Amino acid sequence: MPESIQFFTTGHLNEYGVSLVVDAVRLNRMDELPKKIVRHIEGCDQCKEQILQVTDLTVQQSLDQSTPHPYFDTHKKRSEFPIMWYRAAAVLAVALAGGITYYLLNQQQTSHQIDFTVHPPAIESTQTRTEDFFTATQNNLYADNFVPSPNLDDVIQSDFRSATIEVFSPNNGEFVHPPITFRWEHFDRPMKLKILTNKEITILTSIVTTNSFITTKKFEPGLYYWKLEADDELLYIGNFFVR
């Protein structure tokens, strides 16, 4: 399935959009429809009528529920998975860095205590040790960059369901490599795209008028948040990791 699914043509639901809502009605999964679709049908009688008519037709027919639904069970799961995943990844990153620090401390103390731990290869140059220490300290610093911002996370958790704009990339919690491409569905007004660190410091602001934005900016490894705003209204907030 293409990453960006088009459910609209000329401002109304197209045949896919109507089909998806009918599937949702029949499978009782209206809550899982993209917010953009829900908001459109809320105010559009023309689309409501088409949906009602097709539902009238399909309720007369058997419904095969033996296979997963291509949108609700496949596409949506794929884009939701990272939300759970990124928390795990953040915890893992912190744990790893903590582990490295513990290992270094341990290294320095081993001569004074009975050692039950398995050591790394005995032969190593002082330089390697210094580099290790440097990398470990860096990693420790980076680990701090991976700690989720509770404030922004809260917004993601609460706003994710009511996002006014559908975003195609990056997926929440995705590991990305610069240049990073941000893509979203068409929006009829200019928007402000902001990238924030996990400490909620804005590191990039750009006015966007199309449906994508690419940045070649160098990012330190860490967890980042990004927002789309129009007229000071938050339209979307998501996050991504840079390794």
Partner 1 sequence: MPLPTETLDITLLRNNKHEFILRCQRIIEIVVKHYMKTGMFAPTQFDDTVQTINEELINRLHRIEQNFNGSVLLNTYMNVVIRNICIRIHEKSRTEIKTEPLTDELIPHDHGNIHSLMFQDEYRRLAIVLKLYGAKQSKLKFCFKIYFRMPVTGLDVDSTFDTATGVEREYLLQHFGNTFDDTLEIDNFNILAPMMNKQERNNTTGSSLRRWTLEHLSRVIKLLNGTPPVKTHTKETVKILFEQFSR
Q: Which residues bind partner 1 (CB under 8 A)?
A: 1-2, 5-7, 15-16, 18-23, 25-26, 30, 38-39, 41-42, 45, 48-64, 69-71, 75
Measured distance CA(80)–CA(18) in Å, rounded: 23
Query: Which residues on neighbouring strands pair with residue 196, listed in sequence order?
Result: 202, 225
Measured distance CA(236)–CA(200) in Å, rounded: 15
36 binds Zn ion (CB under 5 A): no
Contact 229, 196 (CB under 8 A): no
| Residue 7: half-sphere exposure toward Cβ, Cα within 13 Å | 19
Measured distance CA(242)–CA(219) in Å, rounded: 7
Return the residue of 44, 147, 155, 230 that touches Zn ion, per CB under 5 A: 44
167 binds Zn ion (CB under 5 A): no
Dihedral angle sign, alpha carbons of residues 5, 9, 11, 13: negative
> In terms of CB distance, is 54 or 242 closer to partner 1?
54
Query: Which residues on neighbouring strands pair with residue 67, listed in sequence order?
Result: none
Contact stretch for Zn ion (CB under 5 A) within 12-20, 115-123, 158-166, 189-197:
12-20
Q: What does 5 interact with, of partner 1, Zn ion, none (CB < 5 to 8 A by kind)?
A: partner 1
> In terms of CB distance, is 29 or 48 closer to Zn ion?
48
Q: What does 154 interact with, of partner 1, Zn ion, none (CB < 5 to 8 A by kind)?
A: none
> In terms of CB distance, is 34 or 148 closer to partner 1?
34
Measured distance CA(95)–CA(146) in Å, rounded: 11
Return the residue of 5, 8, 12, 176 that touches Zn ion, per CB under 5 A: 12
54 binds Zn ion (CB under 5 A): no
Distances (CA, A) of 238 to 9, 45, 70, 183, 192: 26, 32, 24, 12, 14
Q: What does 12 interact with, of partner 1, Zn ion, none (CB < 5 to 8 A by kind)?
A: Zn ion
234 binds Zn ion (CB under 5 A): no
Closest CA to 198 of 218, 226, 176: 226
20 binds Zn ion (CB under 5 A): no
Which spans of this chain sit near Zn ion (rule: CB under 5 A)? Answer: 12, 44, 46-47
